Structures are given as structure tokens and as C-alpha cells.
Amino acid sequence: MFTEAQLYSPVTRESDGDVTVHLCDDHPGINDEDYRARRNAIAALALDYQPGNPVPHIDYTDDEQQVWRIASAELARKHEAYACREVREAAARLALPHEHIPQLDEVSRYLRPLTGFRYVPAAGLVPLREFFGSFADRTFHSTQYLRHHSAPLYTPEPDAIHEIIGHANQLASPRFAGLYETVGAAVARLETDVALKFLADVFWFSLEFGVVREDGEIRCYGAGLLSSYGEIEEFRQATLRPLDVARMGTISYDITHYQPVLFCADSVDQLVDVLGEFFATMDDDTPARLGRSTHSIS
């Protein structure tokens, strides 16, 4: 099962400074000592990064470059068939390279003239408050590692292909970038974990796994779908529900499987209006208020 949505591999640093990425038992690279050492080294660079310093450059291997070339070419074809117009046009303006893995400062250089976003390195999972909060400064935390070369179209965890091909193509759209910034501003107002989780779930069912009706078809705009070779073929088999932030923030879901329920906007205009209003006005009381509303109509 292919999914971009599983948890990042945990990263730990010992008292002696050694960094270890703890791959899951069924990870394609679990028995590849070179790959595991490579992951540890890339994670260490991200952990050592300090804001304001140059973003660490990764000297990508031939295997890693080949993984990028394969995934980039295949996903570009999928986007033409399944991505919404807003994403396709943004991707054309961004013009990510297909023949080499872009360094994070290269991605930033492409994005800044379009929407002002920049990329900074992450070793793995970034705490929700820090990850979403950074959007207010038009900053995106991104991993730099690549999936194992034995499975270029599969990954059990988000990697640079998800972060760049998924999110950067989305962030190249001024309208989507504006939503991200509004998410970041909302996080600054939230004090409770319940509210933060509610925001994260709405983000999940929209900017990660959102779909939209366009020209009589269902097309995707969510970064999780845009970067998933498998799920981008399957999302139109999901049960589609109308755009509804109350239900998006309360529905249960399993991040380790293809999403069986997706929320579909009638247009990009509608999703920008609805999500923009929600993120711009959300506060700590929103989950309870919308929960009461959902209960009253169910």
C-alpha cells in the first residue's frame, strides 16, 4: 500500500551527538546499511540547522537522483490527468527541475517571486504548532531525504518528493499560499491542543487530501494526493462529501491507508472562500461550537 500520509520515522540524538533515524520494520531501506547511514547523516544536518544560516546542501547520490527522475516524470503525467487547473498552472510557473533533485534553497528561489514562501530543513516530524505556525512567515519545513531506490514510487513516510512535488507545486499558487499563511496566523491565536488538532484535521482533508469539481470531473489539489503515485489513481473511488469544516475537523481517519472519505469543493473559488473564512476566524472555542452545530443536524 502506497501512502504519503504515514508518520515520519522518529529521529533521536544521543548524548554523544549520534543521530539515528528509526525506520519501521517494513521500510524498503531497513536492511540497507548504507541507506540507514545516509538517512542518519541527512537528519543530523537538519538538526544542526539554525535559522538565518545557509540551508545545508545535500550531495545527492546517483541512486537518489534516479529516484527523483522516475517519480518526477511519473507524477507529472498523473498531474496532467488528475490535478486541478490551479495546481497545474502553478506548477508550470514554478517549473521544478525533472532531471535533478532541487536543493531547498533552490526551491525557495523558485517560490519567492511567486508567493514569497521559502523552505527550511526538517529532520523528520515537526511539532504541529511549529510546523503550521511557520506558515505565517511563509516558511515551510521540509525533509531532504529520498525514499529507498529499490521502490522509487513507494514510500512509507513523507520524503522530499512529497514536500517538494506535493507542497511546493501547491504553494506556487498565490491563492493556496494565502490559505497557508492564514493557517499560520490562526495557530498564533490557538492555545488548546484540541483546537490545534481540529485545525490540523481540517488542513488534512483540504490542503493535504482535498479534491474539487472542475469541468465535470473530480480533480485533486491536496499535496498528499499530488505526491502519491498510487493514491492519485484511486481518489475518485472515495466517498465524496461536500466541503464542511465541521465534519472535516471531527471525522475519524486512518493515516496508514488510502482515504476512503474525501471532502469535495464545488470550485477552487468555493474552497478558498470557505477555508479562508474558517482559518481567519478560528479560535479555541471553534471545535466545541462547530461540534454542537454538527450534532444538531446529524
SS3 state of residue 122:
coil
208 is catalytic: yes
Residues with Cβ within 8 Å of 283's Cβ and at least 6 positions away in sequence, in order, are 189, 190, 195
> Does residue 57 have an active-site annotation?
no
* Residue type at 164 in one-letter notation: I
Annotated catalytic residue, options 72, 134, 227, 228: 227
Angle at 273 between CA 272 and CA 275, to 5 degrees: 65
State the Cα–Cα distance between residues 74 and 255, nearest whole angstrom: 23
Catalytic, out of 162, 181, 214, 228: 162
Catalytic member of 208, 214, 228, 231: 208
What nine digits make up the cell of 200? Answer: 490540523
Q: Over 216-280, what HEC string results?
A: CEEEECCHHHHCCCCHHHHHHHCEEEECCHHHHCCCCCCCCCCCCEEEEECCHHHHHHHHHHHHH
Out of 167, 181, 214, 228, pick the active-site residue.
167
100 counts as catalytic: no
C-alpha cell at 158: 513523507
Residues designated catalytic: 162, 167, 208, 227
